[in-house]
């Protein structure tokens, strides 16, 4: 089973490509955690695919792993998708799995397009050729997984990851990704409610209401066609919004 988490589709595209190459099934972590229960995954081969946030693993993925039991002898691999630097994400995953007495056998990070750029910059020009390079990279990873290769050479701590992991740095960084409702623009279509992977958004009186357990995945701000969600107090212009070109909002519908 390939367990993925995604906000803007990069990780979904990687999970899909791995699933197609290996004949495995890709499942969104949110679909297994809807009812907050502890899950038992008996699969002999388990892949994790997730985006890097502040050089670390998104909290819903961490929480899922903490609340899940895996077969200790499973072949476990991971792919972290990122803009450029995975920081300590893979190292932290290895530690988290070790806590479960499970062993990460193979891990790599894939540089794609940073879905965070448009939260602080206007007039972004995305270099979509990076996604072609990412496809080649993922094809090589799929090959390694099919051969059950073992390699942890990408599993390491980095100075950047350790700095990003500091409480105060994380706090300041998170503030830049704080989302709030923009009631003047929200038309109450509910798209954001459907695609939020952690159920942080609801509609009340035809307008979006933001709750307090955001995963910072940026799905709502990057997909809303009306600018109905602010990030750090402003809406992202339509032309600056990013999502993986082969992923549709419907692919992310969770509820
Ligand atoms: C809150 C936040 C923090 C991020 N931190 C990092 C980071 O530390 N390093 C990096 O290379 N990319 C970072 N990114 C970019 C994402 O990891 C990258 O775009 C990822 O592929 C998005 O995956 P998705 O489309 O599956 O959601 C960050 C993005 C967000 C929204």
Measure the CA–CA gap between 103 and 23, rounded to whole angstroms.
Answer: 22
What does the pLDDT read at residue 184?
A: 97
**Residue 92 CB less than 6 A away from ligand 1:** no
What does the pLDDT read at residue 37?
A: 62
Measure the CA–CA gap between 139 and 133, rounded to whole angstroms.
Answer: 10
Side-chain half-sphere exposure of 193, counting CA atoms within 13 A? 12
**Residue 58 CB less than 6 A away from ligand 1:** no
Cβ(56)–Cβ(89) below 8 Å: yes
- Domains of the chain (ranges; CATH) run 2-164 (3.40.50.360), 175-252 (3.30.70.20)
Measure the CA–CA gap between 220 and 223, rounded to whole angstroms.
Answer: 5
Which residue has a Cα nearest atom 5 of ligand 1? 53
Cβ-Cβ contacts under 8 Å for 17 (sequence gap 6 or more): 135, 138, 139, 142
Which residue has a Cα nearest atom 28 of ligand 1? 53
Query: CB-based burial of residue 15 (10 Å sphere; 0-12 exposed, 13-18 middle, 19+ buried)?
Result: buried
**Ligand 1 atom closest to 119 (CA):** 31
Query: Of the candidates 177, 29, 23, 49, which has an alpha carbon nearest to the alpha carbon of residue 112?
Result: 49
Six-digit token pair at 215? 């995963």
- Asked whether the predicted pLDDT for residue 74 surpasses 70, the reply is yes
**End-to-end distance of the chain based on CA atoms, in angstroms?**
21
What does the pLDDT read at residue 10?
A: 98
Measure the CA–CA gap between 78 and 211, rounded to whole angstroms.
Answer: 30
* Residue from 28, 53, 86, 244 to probe ligand 1 pocket by mutation (most atoms less than 8 Å from CB): 53
Which residue has a Cα nearest atom 4 of ligand 1? 53
**Alpha carbon 149 to chain centroid distance?**
24
Q: In the 8-state DSSP scheme, what is residue 142?
A: H
Q: Can you tell me the mean pLDDT for 30-46? A: 82
**Residue 116 CB less than 6 A away from ligand 1:** yes
List beta partners, residue 180: 230
**Residue 83 CB less than 6 A away from ligand 1:** yes
Cβ-Cβ contacts under 8 Å for 79 (sequence gap 6 or more): 11, 14, 18, 47, 48, 49, 107, 108, 109, 110, 138, 141
Give me the chain's average pLDDT, please.
95
- Asked whether the predicted pLDDT for residue 65 surpasses 80, the reply is yes
- Asked whether the predicted pLDDT for residue 34 surpasses 70, the reply is no
**Residue 68 CB less than 6 A away from ligand 1:** no
CA–centroid distance, residue 10 to ligand 1 (Å): 9
What does the pLDDT read at residue 35?
A: 60
**Residue 90 CB less than 6 A away from ligand 1:** no
Q: Can you tell me the mean pLDDT for 11-29? A: 97
Q: Can you tell me the mean pLDDT for 160-176? A: 89
Q: Which tens digits make up the pLDDT trace of 124-166?
A: 999 999 999 999 999 999 999 999 999 999 999 999 989 988 9
**Ligand 1 atom closest to 110 (CA):** 21
**Residue 9 CB less than 6 A away from ligand 1:** yes
Query: Of the candidates 148, 75, 78, which has an alpha carbon nearest to the alpha carbon of residue 110?
Result: 78
Six-digit token pair at 104? 């990460």
Q: Using pLDDT thresholds of 50, 70 and 90, give the confidence band for residue 255.
A: low
What does the pLDDT read at residue 36?
A: 57
Q: Is 99 helix (H, G, I), strand (E, B) or coil?
A: helix
**Residue 222 CB less than 6 A away from ligand 1:** no
What does the pLDDT read at residue 240?
A: 97
- Host H or E run for residue 10: helix 10-22
Q: Can you tell me the mean pLDDT for 190-198? A: 97
Measure the CA–CA gap between 145 and 176, rounded to whole angstroms.
Answer: 37
Measure the CA–CA gap between 160 and 13, rounded to whole angstroms.
Answer: 26
**Residue 51 CB less than 6 A away from ligand 1:** yes
Q: Which tens digits make up the pLDDT trace of 78-130?
A: 999 999 999 999 999 999 999 989 999 999 999 999 999 999 999 999 999 99
Number of H helices, E strands in the chain: 9, 11
């Amino acid at each position: 089973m390939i367990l993925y988490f995604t906000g803007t589709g990069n990780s979904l595209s990687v999970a899909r490509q791995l699933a197609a190459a290996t004949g495995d099934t890709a499942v969104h972590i949110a679909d297994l955690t809807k009812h907050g229960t502890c899950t038992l995954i008996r699969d002999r081969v388990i892949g994790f695919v997730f985006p890097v946030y502040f050089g670390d693993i998104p909290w819903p993925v961490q929480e899922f792993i903490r609340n899940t039991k895996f077969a200790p002898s499973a072949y476990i691999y991971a792919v972290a998708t990122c803009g450029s630097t995975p920081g300590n994400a893979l190292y932290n995953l290895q530690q988290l799995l070790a806590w479960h007495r499970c062993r990460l056998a193979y891990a790599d990070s894939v540089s794609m397009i940073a879905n965070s750029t448009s939260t602080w910059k206007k007039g972004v020009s995305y270099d979509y050729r990076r996604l072609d390079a990412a496809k080649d990279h993922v094809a090589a990873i799929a090959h390694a997984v099919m051969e059950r290769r073992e390699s942890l050479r990408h599993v390491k701590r980095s100075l950047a990851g350790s700095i990003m992991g500091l409480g105060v740095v994380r706090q300041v960084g998170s503030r830049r990704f704080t989302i709030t409702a923009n009631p003047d623009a929200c038309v109450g279509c509910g798209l954001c409610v459907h695609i939020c992977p952690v159920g942080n958004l609801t509609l009340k009186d035809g307008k979006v209401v933001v709750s307090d357990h955001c995963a910072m995945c940026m799905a709502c701000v990057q997909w809303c066609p009306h600018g109905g969600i602010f990030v750090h107090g402003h809406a992202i212009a339509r032309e600056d919004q990013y999502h993986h070109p082969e992923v549709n909002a419907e692919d992310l519908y969770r509820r």
